[in-house]
Amino acid sequence: MNDGVVGTAAAETADFFQSAHAAELRLKEAWKVRDMAGAVAAAEDVLSFSPANGAAHRLRLKALLKLGETAGLAEAARSAVPFDPESAHTGARKLAAAHDWEGAATVLAPLAASSEAAMAATNDLRQRVASWLLSSGTHAEKAGDEVTACRLWRLGLAVVPDHAELARRVGRAVSSAVGNARAHEFATDPRGYVITWQRVLEIDPDHGNALKRVATACEKVEDYDAALECWARLLRLDPTQTTIVQRMLRIALSAQKEPEALALVLELGGTVPEDATGERILRKVLVKCRSAVRERDIPTAARHLVLLRKCAREPEAYGDLVERVVPRLAAQIKRLTAGGEPSEAMSLSHLLLELDPRNPIALGNLARYAYMLRYFSEAGAFYRRMIDADPSSAPPWLGLARSLMKVGDVDGAKAAARRCLELDPERDAAREIVAVE
């Protein structure tokens, strides 16, 4: 299948795609002959190639349920919640029956959040699991393990958010930890100060005051990584906090971690301020971008360039760098594809599209990759983008036709196939689609 792929990349990545396809065939065969252990192993293989494969998630969970095993059941049930909530509910019941209350809770929390119907259907089980977590946490507290106690109580609250006793226990534990932390002064006992406030965060990971105190203390001792992590957690809670963004950027300048901090700020929805600090950050990232180009580290240069363009007030501000980076990145993608490293090639293809949304190499690779991994709707979207960029090329029309057939849009597939034949009458695959009854 050569639609949209440059050169001989299709043949050179055959091993990867053949392995992915072989894993799917093993899964289907194991399920067909009721080899449940084989189905679990095959599903794991499929998911290693295609992590969002809904069928593999469903069949792995169903196979584990038929085997009656609880090992790996919690993770399988959690991952299957978006694809098969009914089986996920069954998995949660099995875990509860085996007294794996924590495992059951990790399934029930996202399951209840997925829909009102699921919340109602799981109510009795959620109440029972929450009660056991309350009891287990109480035993841990009596044994002197307050961190475990509060972790179990918080997990119970995730399952039953309006559980009054669990909320009271968590609140009491947090108040106790905060009181203990306030007894330490950074000036006289910096290590004890940080440890006790970190203990608050172990109990309540989103405790704003504790995050600020730990972040500030880590700045003072020049533990910039820990400081950035704490400020980032605060920014995640409220991306509108410009003072936190400024603090993170100042730390980045001190630690020479400007690209990392800028990426983090943008990822969390923050905005780079139009002040001296913001300008310094952008200048530093620009310098590192140019340095990466000189050192021929094109992926790093491209990542820096994407960050700069997201912050640019004028889209053409970095046009000269885009012109230098795009062809080199495309060439590297072709080398990776030819060398049998499709996963890295696809990752860089996404990066290339950030810089050049109509790039045929990136679009062609991603379209074929999505199709081969059976993400047919995604593949169709990439083929449409290829067509928008160049409507006169026949291969993307054929790729679109095939993708539409896979999702059941026969009329759309035939229309795309007919357009392909208008451009290239020798495409037998397109003729076969047009002839479908």
Q: What is the mean pLDDT of residues 134-143?
A: 94
Q: What is the mean pLDDT of residues 383-405?
A: 94
What does the pLDDT read at residue 15? Answer: 59
What does the pLDDT read at residue 67? Answer: 93
Banded model confidence at residue 437, pLDDT cuts 50, 70, 90: confident
User: Mean pLDDT in the chain?
Assistant: 90
What does the pLDDT read at residue 345? Answer: 84
Asked if residue 429 has pLDDT above 60, the reply is yes
Asked if residue 250 has pLDDT above 70, the reply is yes
Signed CA dihedral, 349, 353, 355, 356: sign only: positive
**HSE of 180, CA atoms in CB hemisphere, 13 A:** 17
Banded model confidence at residue 6, pLDDT cuts 50, 70, 90: very low
Q: What is the mean pLDDT of residues 427-437?
A: 89
Quick one: 420 exposed, middle or buried, by C-beta within 10 A (0-12, 13-18, 19+)?
buried
What does the pLDDT read at residue 9? Answer: 41
Within 10 A of 232 (CB to CB), how many other CB atoms are there?
Answer: 20
Q: What is the mean pLDDT of residues 301-320?
A: 89
Gap between the terminal Cα atoms of the chain:
23
What does the pLDDT read at residue 1? Answer: 38
What does the pLDDT read at residue 167? Answer: 94
Asked if residue 314 has pLDDT above 90, the reply is no
Q: What is the mean pLDDT of residues 410-425?
A: 93
362, 330 Cβ separation under 8 angstroms: yes
| pLDDT digits 0-9 by tens, 24-78 | 899 999 999 999 999 999 999 988 877 888 899 999 999 999 999 899 999 999 9
CATH, domain range 358-437? 1.25.40.10
Radius of gyration of the chain (CA): 27
Question: What are the structure tokens assigned to 92, written together?
Answer: 């949660």
Sorted by sequence, the CB contacts under 8 Å of residue 431 that are 6+ apart come out as: 417, 421
pTM score > 0.95 for this model? Answer: no
Q: Give the start-to-end residue ranges of the domains of the chain.
A: 358-437
Calpha distance 178→195 (Å, rounded): 12
> Backbone phi, then psi, for 138, in 5-degree steps?
-65, -40
Signed CA dihedral, 417, 420, 425, 426: sign only: negative
What does the pLDDT read at residue 16? Answer: 62
